[in-house]
Structure 1
């Protein structure tokens, strides 16, 4: 008899594999090397039935690399220890999986194209005379060590045309060209003035009416197509005084779908909204807009000039991201998208909030389609300002599904926002700067029937403190436990012995508070399981003095049937806050049977570092509820409820 998993429709299978890959960081990790890390989760599907194996292979080889750059920074071949890349195009061909490839990323040195060696490399590779009609999308990563090639311009042009022709023959069905990066040194800033390079860009996009483009942050002048070609996607960090790029974006206003721009100051963005003769430029089909001006300039100009354009310029906008500062003093980017805007991520700065409030942007009913709202503050010193900014964010995002807040820490009760004002569709509430008491946390979970993931700050009240403050600073109490559990473990000894008797003295000499967990993690330069270490070391203390939970159990149990993840992944908190957070966590486990895990760290992936965290870190529900302390608490609560 077939398992239900063997009879899943292919579309469902693809979605499952997409989720498995998408939930993993897409950058280099030393454990998996290269960009292959996400696809390690696909490998188990290869050992299942034929349909799973076929779907897994299609996912594995759906995107392939064809790299001809030694020590390529995109491929991380040096970290692969000379192993074959599972996603390399030659590997796909040699294993007979070339028909599964839908997208190819080509990594080439510009010099190799200009001097003709790229052509011979392509013809002498495994591809030979092979034609790959399954490929519909190409990504190009170009790099260079130097610009000068000792050939005539005519010869360079000839080689460029031959390279473009070879690409057309290999991939005849390509509809999407993504010119991702021009990477190199300062001399590459002159690319647009080099006819051969201009010919390369226009040649690659020949006969294609829709082209995607993004460039390296290190390129100041961008080699965008110059032959009147309209673009679908532009991502550029080169708007500083670059009228060519601005004009190209304006010209493509009718075809652009995604626009990511950075550079210059806020006045540069105002130029995108009007042509040289002052006529408005309407971006009819743009559904994703990401904007920021250069960091150095935003800090240099404390009070930059903000324009207030009139009119509607982005009538189809679904996603709006503004980094550093929102570059206008009115709601020009919001107008016309009231029925379509779904995703918003903007900095919550006092001036921005004040300007947008005057325009009615923070009216919760103005954008009924909002699903994701994220607001990041700027470490405002004045507490009343932080409270006002946070209240504005909560009122605006109340009906969204995902609500995130960063910076601007303040107590929830002072924001003027009532728990009953939250909409019924909230599934993820990630607001660590906003401190809630235990009672407010319980009330919040109770009124959100679809809440699946929760992270908040902690407002410590008397019931969450220890009576004698024994472990508020646990250097002496916890040290023997760490030594017994970790001594000799190479993972903990990499940066020297964290258990050396002088470590606390060293911390004190550096002016840090002698908290044991601060010492322990500072000695290893890693904070991956800060909360997890604490709660598991202190279960007896955490479960002490919980007599007040009897009344909470009768009032709130069962608290939720949807909340699955309790997120406690805060970087650094002192022991008093860790203890209060731990008490809240075990109380929620007792009141909320739907919680499956306590998240203590999300996967972090830092390029060029050996301290990457390759996977999420969490405490599964069973590990806590099967403890003697939790079983005693639950047994007591049930007996009280039956009386």
Structure 2
């Protein structure tokens, strides 16, 4: 065994775990995602568990950050994935309970109703496993096979099994503070829905009642009788297209109007936001969501003009983050007119045909005076080339941004008028906004460009006009790797020197740029990407990290190969941390 490996093997257990945990740098998953991500990318740990036997033993508990409770005890599919989702027996065998922070309960409803799952949870190792650090629980509920006893659904035992299951969940995860309940229970007939639906509703009700910390509720593709869902003080609700349950969800949302902080709606009902704020029967005044800070609305249908409704007062007085993913006309543009000057984060998905009416109404003008983060996606597929429209679209992000805007994410579906975008970036907006244009450029710290085919010269042009830019994200599918400046060619070094001279003439060039990220994509020219990355390191003197989200291992290998072959690359790659642990 080489001396370095011998030294690593002799490190104490607590230090081994600290090194591995720090290096993998687990980030908490997004609890509001409809399909929550799991926190432990397994490839980040493989390097450490393979060092030696003692490291494998000591690092195994770190795999146990995500707990899985499921009727599929083998979990074979999980072993082959990029993530580790540990079953309770595995966690118990390596004493990993203290590391577990998230629980995924992926269970069939009928395995609870017929008592199989509660029975298993009362036997070892389930009965002796307690996870004190688990703070978030995801319950993903499916229907499962019918119970063997046909008369079971008419007995009280199903109800008792559900009550027992919720009690055991609370015992196993005593400190859980948030629960996401996502149901995909679908029924084959009205009779089955009548018999089984109340069990799902009872399960939701008991979890909401017995878990004192539950503040988040979500359901998807599920029909249930909502009469047992009593008024609640939830802080977050997600609704994903459950047409038959929509009236109950509306009442649940309205009953939580004083406590809701985040609301996520995905529905084909374009008037849903209006139904949430209109006065109830025999009442006066709109429903006001005084604590709501985050609102996301996704709808594939535009609103009917006749359905428009103007509230008498601001219904979202504290709104800070708004996502509108709906064709114009919006159901809700009247609802948000009082929020335009207070929004800190805005995300919009638009069609090309939406642009002109929105420009005429002034909605895309510079009135978002407090906005810090802007995400704008415009779908342009199959739209004919129109230079004037391209110029209008290219200016929109800079017209909407203000002196407080720190990040802009621009995504133009399938193609973009690149020259118009670069021209808009290099000059302030026209007309009344002209005096404010450069303020946005001076404040911007993060920029993401999607579907914009940039050569390295144009990347230099972009960062040259953004003196405070810290991170630039680029879509790898649309990068135009310039074959003319590869160093293996005779003219490569001289071309690179000319680029350096051009960069130095730009005002305040790349003064703060630290990170360049190639986004997710199936791009295969890793050698070209490595040239691109190393040349950016040469041209931008403060770049420290170049990352490729989905192909990091291949990307790093190509960067290392080029650095070994070319002295100029080697000189600058020493400060370039190509390995991205985040």
| CA–CA distance in structure 2, aligned partners of residues 540 and 97 of structure 1 | 54
Change (3 A) 1:167 1:194: same
Maintained 8 Å contact 2:455/2:480: no
Equivalences for residues 419-568 of structure 1 within 5 A: 419=427, 421=438, 422-433=440-451, 441-454=459-472, 539-540=488-489, 543=492, 546=495, 549=499, 552=502, 555-556=505-506, 559-566=509-516
Change (3 A) 1:352 1:289: farther
How far 1:103 moved relative to its partner? 3.4
How far 1:406 moved relative to its partner? 1.4
| CA–CA distance in structure 2, aligned partners of residues 632 and 96 of structure 1 | 45
Say whether residues 1:409 and 2:358 are aligned partners. no
Per the alignment, residue 399 of structure 2 pairs with 395
Change (3 A) 1:558 1:370: closer
| CA–CA distance in structure 2, aligned partners of residues 619 and 434 of structure 1 | 26
Per the alignment, residue 555 of structure 2 pairs with 617
Higher relative contact order (CA 8 A, sep 6+): 1
| CA–CA distance in structure 1, aligned partners of residues 327 and 214 of structure 2 | 31
Per the alignment, residue 34 of structure 2 pairs with none
**May I ask how many residue pairs the two structures share in their alignment?**
521
Question: Which of 282, 285, 288 is residue 294 of structure 2 equivalent to?
Answer: 288
Once structures 1 and 2 are overlaid, which stretch shifts more, 176-185 or 242-251? Answer: 176-185
Change (3 A) 1:87 1:614: farther
Say whether residues 1:591 and 2:539 are aligned partners. yes
Maintained 8 Å contact 2:234/2:256: yes
Per the alignment, residue 549 of structure 2 pairs with 602
Once structures 1 and 2 are overlaid, which stretch shifts more, 550-559 or 418-427? Answer: 550-559
Per the alignment, residue 125 of structure 2 pairs with 126
Deviations 1:396-438 (A, max 9, x none): 1354222121126114447655446243232222224457787
Per the alignment, residue 107 of structure 1 pairs with 106
Say whether residues 1:234 and 2:234 are aligned partners. no
SS of structure 2 residue aligned to 1:205: helix
Once structures 1 and 2 are overlaid, which stretch shifts more, 167-176 or 311-320? Answer: 167-176
Change (3 A) 1:597 1:185: farther
SS of structure 2 residue aligned to 1:180: strand
Q: TM-score scaled by structure 1?
A: 0.66
SS of structure 2 residue aligned to 1:540: coil
Change (3 A) 1:554 1:619: farther
Maintained 8 Å contact 1:20/1:42: no
Maintained 8 Å contact 1:315/1:337: no
How far 1:122 moved relative to its partner? 0.9
| CA–CA distance in structure 1, aligned partners of residues 321 and 19 of structure 2 | 25
Equivalences for residues 270-349 of structure 1 within 5 A: 270-277=274-281, 279-293=285-299, 295=300, 298=301, 307-310=308-311, 311-325=313-327, 327-328=330-331, 330=333, 332-333=335-336, 335-336=338-339, 338-339=341-342, 341-349=343-351
How far 1:125 moved relative to its partner? 3.4
Question: Which of 194, 197, 205 is residue 194 of structure 1 equivalent to?
Answer: 197
| CA–CA distance in structure 1, aligned partners of residues 179 and 306 of structure 2 | 37
How far 1:554 moved relative to its partner? 5.6
| CA–CA distance in structure 2, aligned partners of residues 573 and 61 of structure 1 | 33
Per the alignment, residue 69 of structure 1 pairs with 72
Maintained 8 Å contact 2:520/2:549: no
SS of structure 2 residue aligned to 1:272: helix
Per the alignment, residue 433 of structure 2 pairs with none
Q: CA RMSD in A?
A: 5.0
Equivalences for residues 349-360 of structure 1 within 5 A: 349-350=351-352, 352-354=354-356, 356-357=358-359, 360=362
Q: Which blocks of at least 5 consecutive residues in structure 2 are unaligned?
A: 1-10, 32-36, 429-437, 573-582
Once structures 1 and 2 are overlaid, which stretch shifts more, 169-178 or 265-274? Answer: 169-178
